[in-house]
Structures are given as C-alpha cells and as structure tokens.
Structure 1
Amino acid sequence: MSTQYVLFDAPGPRSRRIITILNILVALIVIGVLVWVYQALAAQGQMSPHLWWNAINTNAWVNYLLPGLTFTLQAAAIAVVSSVVFGLFFGFLRLAPVRILRWISMVIVEFFRAVPVLVLMVFLHFFFSQYLSNVIDPRNSAYYAVIVALTLYNGAVIAELVRAGVRSLPAGQREAALAVGMTTTKSLRYVEVPQALVAMLPSLVSQFVIILKDSALGYIIGFSELLRYSRHLGAGYGNIMQALVVAAIIFIIINSLLVQLAQMLSRRLSSRTSGVTEVGIPGIAPIAGDTVEDEATETRAQAIIQQDKRK
C-alpha cells in the first residue's frame, strides 16, 4: 500500500538529496558550536570535574537542590489547583447566559491576561508585606505573592481556554441537550465543559508547565525556590554555572514528565470518548462522529434530567 501525501507532494530524488545535505550541514554546525562552547569553558577552568561534582553530590542535594525543588513544586502545585478553579469559574461565567456576568468576567480575565506575571508578583509582594503584615508573615509574603500571581495570570489563561474549548464544540452538542429539556446552564455544566476539558487537555498541561517555569521568577522577590538555592550552592562552592545547569536539567526533566503524562492522558481519554465511524470518503467520517457524539450527549442529558426529577 502506497503512502498518500494529502497536504504536500512527496519529495522527489533531487529534493531528498537536498534535504539530506541540509541535515548534514546543520548537524555539523551544531557539533561545531558545541565543541567551541566546550573549549571556551575548558579554557576558563569551568569543565573541572570537582566543580561539577560539588553541584551534584549528596551535600548539594540534601542542603540545596532538594529544599529548593520542594518549595518550587509546592508553590507550583498549589498554583495549578487554584488556577484551574479560577479558570473554570470565570470560564463558565464567560459562557453564562446573563450578559452582565459575561462582561464582568471578560474584564477580569482580560486584565490579568494583559498584566505580566512578574509585575503581579512584585506588586503582590509589596502589598502583602506593607498592608497585610498583620495577616501574612512578612517572611512568607514572597511565597504567597508567587502563588497568587501565578493563580491570577494562569487562571485567566485557563478561563479563555475553557471558553474557546466550549465554542469549538459542534453545535449539535448544545442542541441535543436543549432538545431533551436541559437549560443552557446545565448544558454547559454537564455536557459542554466536560468535553471541552478533554479537548483542551494538551493546552492545559502546557499551561501547567508554564506555571512551573514561571515559579522561578519568584527569585526576583526573594522566594526561596530552586533557582535561589542553586545560586546559594554556586556562591558557596564557586560553581555558579554548574549549579544553574543542574537546576535547568531538573526543570527540563520535570517538564518532560508532565508532557509525557499529558500525552498519555490524552490518548486514553480520546480512546474512551471517540465515536466509532466507518472509514470512507474524507469529510463523511466527521459527520458520522458528530452523530454518535450527539446521541451520547442526548443519552447523558436524559439521565441527568431523570435524576433531577427524582430529587
């Protein structure tokens, strides 16, 4: 069976040779840059084994890397949960049938999306330490400022993701729910938003990765996270570059694990929610899929209405 290229023509022999040559040239350039960087660092003594060992030995992990990583993951985890709650709440309001609620939520979401997260951190740190010192310990003001700033900014982004995800659903989803007697609010709550969450799962996890990375901005306001502890490690042993490289590798590993988790969840959810359609002429299968989804939506809606009647 021959492979069909729908969006572009298959490259011919001449094009394949050009692509191969370009790949080799790019690989040689990358290798040359890496060799040049290594030699430049070695000339400055930065490739000395003891400098790297002091950045990864037991003392570095116990006293610097693990405490910093703990604070980073703790702040990021709290910010993820709170931003999802914030995003679902205001995303639901942005889809509400009441116009005034849509306007209020739109203003709030657009405001926090427009303000840089670092500006939010600096402002909240100043506000907490100056005006809420009797409620929040000034020593913890940076910690709370990071969490609240990440929540407001990323929650606003998630709210927009929810709105866009619901709007991207086929119109038959809401029509099927309304046809069996559900209100617009119940259609959003039980039918549209759950499906939108499944569809936007990759975007959600990408936003979680951004939350984890943006937690490093707390270094500016004195938050004791992985970057700050890495700086302390480098200052103590004279290996700042090595300590920062180790911190960067830790961030890369955690973010890669999050991406892999998102892909796994997306595959499992897609296999559970996808309708069974016959493969045929392009353009026919999506219509059949929509019909299956509409029938499933109507069945779920009828079950919800029956539960409400029993109550």
Structure 2
Amino acid sequence: MKWNTLTSLALFAPSHVVALLRFPCGQLMVDRVDPLVNPGMAPSPHLHQIVGGNAFNVTMDPSKDMPGESTCTTCQFSEDFSNYWTAVLYFKARNGTYKRVPQKQNVGFEGVNGGMTVYYMQDGLYNFQQTSKVTAFKPGFRMYIGDVNARTREEAERFRQLTYTCLENMNTRDPQTLDFPNKPCPAGIMTALRFPTCWDGKNLDSPDHMEHMAYPEFGTFETGGPCPASHPVRMGQLFYEVIWDTSKFNNKADWPADGSQPFVWSFGDGTGYANHGDYVFGWQGDALQRALDSPCYQNCPTLKSQNNAAMNACKKPGFVKEDIDGWVSILPGGHVANYRK
C-alpha cells in the first residue's frame, strides 16, 4: 500500500506499527571530504553534505569509538552519532556558472536546518505492518551505494532504488525516476537513496564498501524477497530522503538555451544516474536494535530525542577552505558538467 502524502501515513498509521524510524537530521557541514571513499584526503575530489555526529573527520578510523568521540549530533535521536552523507546538487545557469542548491526538510520537520530525513525500517516504507525481525548494524559498520561514474540508465539500474521525484508540492512522492527531472519542479527535487538490506554476516566493510551487502534475490526490500545465501542476514533498510530547494532556479530563461535540465551533481554528473550515498554507523550501545525491536513510529519511546535547537546547534568547522556558496565558474575540485563518459 502506497501513501499519497507523508502526513496521511502519520495520521492513519495504526497503533501497533513496529519500528519504522523516521527522523530529521540537520546539516553538520558541507565540505570536500569523504572518509569512506577517500580516507585521509582533504580536499577530496568533490563536495559532500554531511549530517550526524560531530566526531566526523577526514579519516573516520574504524577502530575508534565513534559514539564516544562525538559530543553532539544533528539528528533527532540523541543516541545516534552515525554519519550520513551525499554529494551536493548544483544549478548550472545559461551563462555557464554554477550555484549550490540549498536543502530543506520534509513536512513536519520544519525548523531543522537543511540536512535530510533518515529512515530505518523492518518491512519497507509502504508496509504498515512493520513486524519482521531484522538485525541492526554493528559498531564499525559502514557502507556505500551508487556509482559516481554512472552516466547511463543501464549503469544506474544496477542499484535498485536510487531515485528522483519532481515535487509538485511537499507531499508529492511519485513518479520516481532514475535521472534528473527535465522540467521545473515547483517544490524542489527529492533524491531517495535506499541501501541494500542483506549482510554477509561477517564483514563490517569491504574494499568497495558494497560487497559485504547485497539486495534480496529478487525484487526489493519492500517485496520481501529472500536474502541470497552469500548474504543471509536480513538487516533493516536504511533510507535517505534529501529535498533540494530548486524553486529559486525554476525560471527557464536561466536554463540552458537548448531547454535541457540544468542541475548537476558536485562531481559533474548532469544525467543524475550517478546518485550515491555513504553511511558510517555510530549509534550508542544497543539503541538501534532496541528501537527496531520495539513498537514505535517516528517518536520512539525507547530512544532519547532532542529538539530542533539542539540539532541545529551541532556544527563542525570545515576542513577545506573554499567558496561553496557563491556563483562559481567551475565546481569545487575542478569539475564541470558532463552528460556522458
């Protein structure tokens, strides 16, 4: 069963809903660092927007106690010092200059600065009966999803649920596409990143940060397909929604003269097929497993919450000093918009 609006789910979700965690995380920093793909490198090749615990750093040494090193988090649940990050969206004007697109929160999370909405689920977003037993991620766990080099639909289809929605209003959720919307979107563009849900049960990471995880043998997490024998442990689904406020860039007179869509990822992808995201686990103790095992929807009684002011107050100074807010002739890291390999 699909919802038509986020608010309808909140209003009609039955009282026995189990473990559908949905919460806002404000902006921690926007910087050219990526400790998962490019550990130790500052600046890293392209710009990212990062949310979560303030222990985020250039190396993110997996041997260290991530939750213990953080003193605050930009996420609603104050026991969650994980870090979640994606690339940054830019607008390319007709004159060839670029401007970073700001982010805004989902309906119901107004007042939280930028960032994203994070989900942890047992049975998928559209299933009210969140009753399956799933395993929480472990200390030291990390993963990545997507392909920064993808420029064709075929390459993007390897990843089953990395999509875009052109928001007619803030409650729009369909249709979803693999590439950038090709028309002005009145309320912005939402990117959705659903991570694989089957773990090999052994490795907290892998060389490409993906091999230790897999999709179900068929279908998606929501369809309930079984995990492959190589990855037998069924995890909760981690899911990001990032809303890019493209409304101020909707004047088609500013778009490319040929009428093509004007948005580009911070590493130069103008197709949208290279959508990707990163995750480093950082929940305190057994907080995430307790939440996944307990009846809760959004506001989970087993977890400690903090208010908007506390989320917004958690900040991290940038590692790389460069202009990320003004109009620029080239993207940070020397990238330009490209549409094919």
Q: Normalised by the shorter chain, which TM-score bucket?
A: under 0.3
More contact order relative to length (CA 8 Å, sep ≥ 6): 2
Larger radius of gyration: 1
* Structure with the higher helix share, 1 or 2: 1
* Structure with the higher strand share, 1 or 2: 2
How high is the TM-score relative to the length of structure 1?
0.25
How high is the TM-score relative to the length of structure 2?
0.23
